[in-house]
Amino acid sequence: MVVRETYSPAETFELGKHLGEQAKPGWIFTLVGDLGVGKTVFTQGLACGLGIDEPVNSPTFTILQEYHTGRLPFYHFDVYRIADIEEMEEIGYDDCFFGGGVCLVEWADLIEELIPENAFHVTIEKDMEKGFDYRKITIEGMDEL
């Protein structure tokens, strides 16, 4: 498990970027954290590290947003609005999870049974006692950055 503390959006972005630069085909991240904690900032950093030059935002109204302008394909899932696991089949999620790209899944606990064993689990948390811009970022499944 890797734990990093950040004190600004830029630092969270940099952490995501570093991971994007390291990412290998087949890497899957799950991403958990309250609204406004920095999930999109982290994801934008990851996309930047993959060399993606398009704007990256929360998918929200689409379950899957794909980016193909980077070093590897990037698949950004937000499964919050998924009603049934079969919707994932319809989207063709397995081509994303097992197709040589990099995936990031928000609200992954809703489709837990589909998440591969080797996924990295990223959690972002606030701690108001440590300041408004403090974030603790935990990456389970990773031993070092």
List residues near ligand ADP by CB under 6 A: 6-9, 11-12, 33, 35-41, 58, 133, 135
Question: Could you tell me the smallest distance in angstroms from the CB atom of residue 89 to ligand ADP?
Answer: 27
Q: How far is the CB of 142 from Mg ion (least distance, A)?
A: 22
Instruction: Name the residue nearer to ligand ADP (CB basis): 100 or 131.
Output: 131
Count of CB atoms situated within 10 Å of the CB of 120: 17
Q: Which among 23, 82, 94 has a CA at the least distance from the CA of 52?
A: 23
Taking the complex as a whole, the smallest distance from the CB of residue 58 to Mg ion amounts, in Å, to 4
- Distance CA(57)–CA(65), nearest Å, equals 9
Query: Is the Cβ of residue 71 or residue 136 nearer to ligand ADP in the bound state?
Result: 136
CA 119 vs CA 55, 68, 85, 86, 128: distances in Å:
25, 21, 18, 21, 29
CB burial of residue 34 (10 Å; 0-12, 13-18, 19+) = exposed
Residues facing 126 on adjacent strands = 135
* Cβ 94 to ligand ADP shortest distance, Å: 26
Q: Which one of ligand ADP, Mg ion, none interacts with residue 36, CB within 5 to 8 A by kind?
A: ligand ADP
Please give the residues from 1 up to 60 whose contact with Mg ion meets the rule CB under 5 A.
39-40, 58
